[in-house]
A and B are shown apart, each in its own frame.
Chain A
Amino acid sequence: MNISFIKSNQKKEITEKLKEIYGISNLPYLLIESGKEKIRAFSGSLSKEEILEISEIAKIEVVGGYLMRQEGVDDLRLSFDAPLILQEQITKAIVEIDKDQFELWIRGNDIEIKAEKGNVILKYNGDFVGCGKSNGLKIFNYVPKDRRLKTTIKSQ
């Protein structure tokens, strides 16, 4: 893994953007750029220098958890797990869905639902269940394949 730490001024921009889109104002992590505009978050105690020192003697594959993806200049799409990690801070861009919509969504389908355009976080029955992108009429599905349900769920 090519480790590239996000500098503090860039982190500030990211935090401001997250606050604007999702209401997230505190990112107590080292942020690391990963492939395909992905940003990972490391909450561990090692410093940047210590991580780089380790990378010289060990093949590092992954640092921290996948948090979000930079889309173009202005947009940030959270990973499937990021809303669960940051749930107490999320106040905006939440789209509540019902059972039928959830059944479709968690199996990887887009769902027809009116919402503000842009990246949104879906919430079902009190749980954040991933992020999608809305065009105003439809939310496009970004549930990773290995996190999709394969069978009919029992009622909650």
Chain B
Amino acid sequence: MTRYEMKLIFEERMRKLLPNEQDFQAYNKIIHTGPINFIRCNTLKISPEKLIERLNKKWKVVQPYAEFPEIMLIESDLGPGELGNSIEHVLGYYYVQEVCSMMSAIALDASPGDIILDVCASPGSKTTQIAAKMKNSGTLMANDLKLDRIAILASNLEKAGVTNGIVTRNDAINLCNNFKKSHIQFDKILLDAPCSGEGTIRSSPKTLLMWNEQVVNKFSRQQKKMLAYALKCLKVGGTLVYSTCTHAPEEDESVIDFAIRNFPVKIEQISLPLKTRPGITEWKLEKFSPEVKKSHRIYPQDNDSEGFFLCKMTLLSEIKEEKSIKREHKNKY
């Protein structure tokens, strides 16, 4: 796979986030290597015990996290496409998924019977993980915007044997607004927001070429708006997990800070099975609420993974709609 060097401005930003030289060098080294092979056992179709027994007949497979036996790491060297072309994959017994990306659904902590909205669901890795936790009960609404992405999402839900899902094709903001107007509310919401993808360099080296600060700022505005609308269709006492696969504070802590300042939310302190670092409280000229420290930054050099960010919040009281939107525009635009 062709690898690219960091743009100067990207390097400067990453050095600010990783001021320790050794740490930065470890980051710079690992992003120039391909990702390791994680899979997630699809417990809707097979138990982790049975799956690992089968897979160990052809590969060396380990379960690195005792509390999450469904997470498996393939330690054998694999040929191109081998992971996606096994019988077990064809039958939907496992999903090829980077370990960081599994953290959103772990943080959401879905239970059977929940009513859940996955706002930007395609391709469905997190959606299928949530459905497995729900044991196909409750209701899982999985939304995305474009038809081609919906096709991939629907195909992956099918393959995973998900039967409690409703797939919708809508603009996320319109959808949440319509739910709010119709008084349809959810117990839990996952907002895995579209982002600049700084955390995906190992699997998509071209991200380094495509990256620019304007895109980061554009996503930041969009993410704040999405979060504002998503919170409005969350039940009081319900939880929302916000995640991105980027390290850009504009798309991470700044979005969480926006939620803290404009909505009655409490940021939850949660533990995850990966090494994470706390959210930062300052970036450029912005100072964030100390509460954003409860967010989780995941760097590739800490876990031999991709990069990620997530934060879990609880809605404490009803949102007064008009007031919140005005604040959002007044403060930020």
- Chain A 44-81: CB-based contact to B (< 8 A → 1; otherwise 0): 11100001011001111111111000000000000101
Residues in B neighbouring A51, C-beta threshold 8 A: 166
Contact (Cβ within 8 A) A84 B161 = yes
Contact (Cβ within 8 A) A153 B170 = no
Residues in B neighbouring A81, C-beta threshold 8 A: 92, 158-159, 161
Contact (Cβ within 8 A) A43 B179 = no
State the CA gap A155–B54 with chains docked (Å). Answer: 11
Interface pick from B26-34, B78-86, B288-296, B304-312: B78-86
Residues in B neighbouring A155, C-beta threshold 8 A: 58
Interface pick from A4-12, A88-96, A110-118, A141-149: A141-149
User: Closest CB of chain B to A31's CB: distance in Å?
Assistant: 11
Q: Which of A29, A58, A129, A150 contacts B85 (CB 8 A)?
A: A150
Residues in B neighbouring A41, C-beta threshold 8 A: 163
Which of A29, A54, A61, A148: most chain B CB closer than 10 A?
A: A61
Q: Which of A46, A62, A64, A84 contacts B91 (CB 8 A)?
A: A84
State the CA gap A146–B154 with chains docked (Å). Answer: 12
User: Closest CB of chain A to B18's CB: distance in Å?
Assistant: 40
Contact (Cβ within 8 A) A53 B92 = no
Contact (Cβ within 8 A) A147 B137 = no
Contact (Cβ within 8 A) B85 A151 = yes
With A45-B138, A59-B170 given, is the CB distance from A129 to B91 under 8 Å? yes
User: Closest CB of chain A to B184's CB: distance in Å?
Assistant: 7
Contact (Cβ within 8 A) B81 A106 = no
User: Closest CB of chain A to B235's CB: distance in Å?
Assistant: 15
B57 at the interface (CB under 8 A from A): yes
Residues in A neighbouring B113, C-beta threshold 8 A: 45
Residues in B neighbouring A149, C-beta threshold 8 A: 85, 87, 90
A127 at the interface (CB under 8 A from B): yes
A36 at the interface (CB under 8 A from B): no
Contact (Cβ within 8 A) B45 A64 = no
Residues in A neighbouring B164, C-beta threshold 8 A: 42-45, 64
Contact (Cβ within 8 A) B182 A53 = yes
State the CA gap A43–B166 with chains docked (Å). Answer: 10
With A61-B167, A84-B161 given, is the CB distance from A106 to B90 under 8 Å? yes
Contact (Cβ within 8 A) A54 B184 = yes
Which of A65, A66, A84: most chain B CB closer than 10 A?
A: A65
Question: From A62, which residue of chain B is reached at the shortest CB distance?
Answer: B167
A104 at the interface (CB under 8 A from B): no
User: Closest CB of chain B to A81's CB: distance in Å?
Assistant: 5
Contact (Cβ within 8 A) B138 A156 = no
Residues in B neighbouring A44, C-beta threshold 8 A: 137-140, 163-166
- Chain B 57-94: CB-based contact to A (< 8 A → 1; otherwise 0): 11000000000000000000000011001110011100
Question: From B182, which residue of chain A is reached at the shortest CB distance?
Answer: A57
A137 at the interface (CB under 8 A from B): no
State the CA gap A85–B46 with chains docked (Å). Answer: 10
Question: From B177, which residue of chain A is reached at the shortest CB distance?
Answer: A57
B111 at the interface (CB under 8 A from A): no
B115 at the interface (CB under 8 A from A): yes
Question: From B164, which residue of chain A is reached at the shortest CB distance?
Answer: A44
Residues in B neighbouring A60, C-beta threshold 8 A: 166-168
Q: Which of A29, A43, A79, A106 contacts B87 (CB 8 A)?
A: A106
User: Closest CB of chain B to A94's CB: distance in Å?
Assistant: 16
Q: Which of B115, B163, B179 contacts A85 (CB 8 A)?
A: B163
Residues in B neighbouring A63, C-beta threshold 8 A: 165-167
B317 at the interface (CB under 8 A from A): no
State the CA gap A29–B161 with chains docked (Å). Answer: 13
State the CA gap A38–B278 with chains docked (Å). Answer: 49
User: Closest CB of chain B to A108's CB: distance in Å?
Assistant: 12
B139-158 contacts to A (CB < 8 Å): 139-141, 143, 150, 154-155, 157-158
State the CA gap A41–B139 with chains docked (Å). Answer: 13
Contact (Cβ within 8 A) A153 B86 = yes
The chain B residues found within 8 Å of chain A, CB to CB, are 45, 54, 57-58, 81-82, 85-87, 90-92, 113, 115, 136-141, 143, 150, 154-155, 157-159, 161-170, 175, 178-179, 181-182, 184
Identify 5 new A-B residue pairs, CB closer than 8 A, beyond the known A64-B166, A156-B54: A58-B179, A62-B150, A63-B165, A63-B166, A153-B85
The chain A residues found within 8 Å of chain B, CB to CB, are 29, 41-46, 51, 53-54, 57-66, 79, 81, 84-85, 106, 127, 129, 146-151, 153-156
